[in-house]
Homo-oligomer: A and B are copies of this chain.
Amino acid sequence: MPAGNQLRQYSVPTFPPPESEGEESWLWNQIKAEARRDAESEPALASYLYSTVLSHPSLARSLSFHLANKLCSSTLLSTLLYDLFLHSFSSSPTLRSAVFADLLAARHRDPACVSFSHCLLNYKGFLAVQTHRVAHLLWAQDRRPLALALHSRVADVFSVDIHPAARIGKGILLDHATGVVVGETAVVGNNVSMLHHVTLGGTGKIGGDRHPKIGDGVLIGAGATILGNVIIGEGAKIGAGSLVLIDVPPRTTAVGNPARLIGGREKPARHE
């Protein structure tokens, strides 16, 4: 039934959910319904979808299982990682609310994202960010060797390199995600979208607060490099391939190498 499939895959479900249902349980029900339909239409995936989604009682468990399987190695066992992720997501409503916001961000901002379960299972940017949040908690608890081990696995498996000390908001979309590098003292606000190959890096100054601060709602294009302790104001847009070494005011667009400002509040951006 192609028409039904089209409808299922491309319509974003009614949001917010009915008042009678909490956001988390609403989202988890959506994901399970998607996985059930996919398992029925594609027997080759039924076992995978059952073990990764449908056999779990909550999104926290499903996500923990999936991350543990993706990130384990012959010396860093999936059981250890599963326990670690499950404990972190189960005990932190803040982490779960960020998972929720990130899944919505992908569904609403990426036209290629066909369902919540598609993002949960397949988006390496999403999975890298959730792992980062757990590594960041461990870092704050002075469990740095474990935080760095997670960091390293994410760099190997997803080619995404976010230092555990970096502070990242929620509603984050890392689209495609390969090659993203976020340095130790970087700060990223809420509802930020970054394409692949984006660098939030240092300028070579040794030590200290040396990485960019990205405001809420910023959009950073593919391959953009932002270096140094600069401020990118809320709602700013950074063009693909730009090299940004300066502050960018809110709602302003920066493009080029080196970047120049081309639009602002009263001067609409030409590059989106």
Contact = CB atoms under 8 A, between A and B. Distances in A.
Interface string A185-208: 000000000011101011111111
Give how many copies assemble into the complex.
3
Interface in A228-269: 239-241, 243, 245, 255-258
A158 interface: yes
B204 A225 contact: no
A5 interface: yes
A6 to B, nearest CB: 9
Contact of A222 (B152, B199, B255): B199
A148 B121 CA distance: 10
A240 B241 contact: no
Interface residues of A, number: 81
B73 A222 contact: no
Contacts of A184: 111-112
A52 interface: yes
The 8 closest A-B pairs by CB, nearest first: A122-B152, A38-B145, A241-B243, A204-B272, A111-B207, A159-B159, A159-B178, A176-B181
Interface of A: 2, 5, 9, 38, 41-42, 44-45, 47-48, 51-52, 69-70, 72-76, 78, 80, 84, 111-112, 114, 118, 121-124, 142-146, 148-149, 151-152, 155-159, 161, 163, 176, 178-179, 181, 183-184, 195-197, 199, 201-208, 210, 219, 222-223, 225, 227, 239-241, 243, 245, 255-258, 271-272
